[in-house]
Amino acid sequence: MHLFFKVIIGILVIVLIHTLAYQRITDTIEKNSSRFPLPAKGVESFENSGKKKTEEELTKESLVDANPAEEFAFDKKNSFCELTGSSLAKREVKCKKLTNDNCKDISCCVLLNGNKCVAGAKDGPAYPDSHEFDHYYYEKKCYGKKCPK
């Protein structure tokens, strides 16, 4: 009989813990529901404040308004430069592999004297002491004293 009461008390403790945990979860949900309300049967449009739109109508609108070419566009020049991160040494190696025309167009490389592609920017090569040059191209524009006319 003594064991019976221990089992009953154990069950009551488990039920009490479960009830308190459930109450805390429901209180948290109710408290946060005012910050993030879920729509009932329709969602109020900000444009037409009185008219409710269904989820299907909103999905159709978002598909019509979507512009994948603009939203997923990336700049090839910047992606080349971002792949090398902040490592000028890696960038120098990658720039040397570019053609002269591509080198003139990349925003993190410069073309020295029209024939040698190295890491750099508008101010010139990243390692100016390592290269002899009298002009360079950066983003299709020539800089320096002896730019060809």
The span from the CA of 119 to the CA of 127, in Å, is 8
- Give me the pLDDT at residue 42, please: 46
pLDDT tens digits, residue range 74-117? 566 667 787 777 888 888 998 999 999 988 888 889 999 999 99
3-state class (DSSP) for residue 142 = strand
The span from the CA of 67 to the CA of 109, in Å, is 31
Mean pLDDT across the chain, nearest whole number? Answer: 76
3-state class (DSSP) for residue 141 = strand
Between residues 33 and 146, which one has the greater pLDDT?
A: 146
Q: At what angle do helices 88-96 and 76-83 cross, to 10 degrees?
A: 130
Tokens for 63?
A: 């598909």
What pLDDT band is residue 45 in, cutting at 50, 70 and 90? very low
Four-CA torsion 70, 71, 73, 74, nearest 10 degrees = 130
Tokens for 13?
A: 């403790």
What pLDDT band is residue 46 in, cutting at 50, 70 and 90? very low
- Give me the pLDDT at residue 43, please: 46
- Give me the pLDDT at residue 77, please: 60
Asked whether the predicted pLDDT for residue 148 surpasses 50, the reply is yes
Phi, psi of 133 (to 5 degrees): -160, 155
Asked whether the predicted pLDDT for residue 146 surpasses 80, the reply is yes
Between residues 104 and 22, which one has the greater pLDDT?
A: 104
Average pLDDT over residues 16-37: 67
Radius of gyration of the chain (CA): 33
Between residues 64 and 47, which one has the greater pLDDT?
A: 64
Asked whether the predicted pLDDT for residue 23 surpasses 80, the reply is no
Are 81 and 121 spatial neighbours (Cβ–Cβ below 8 Å)? no
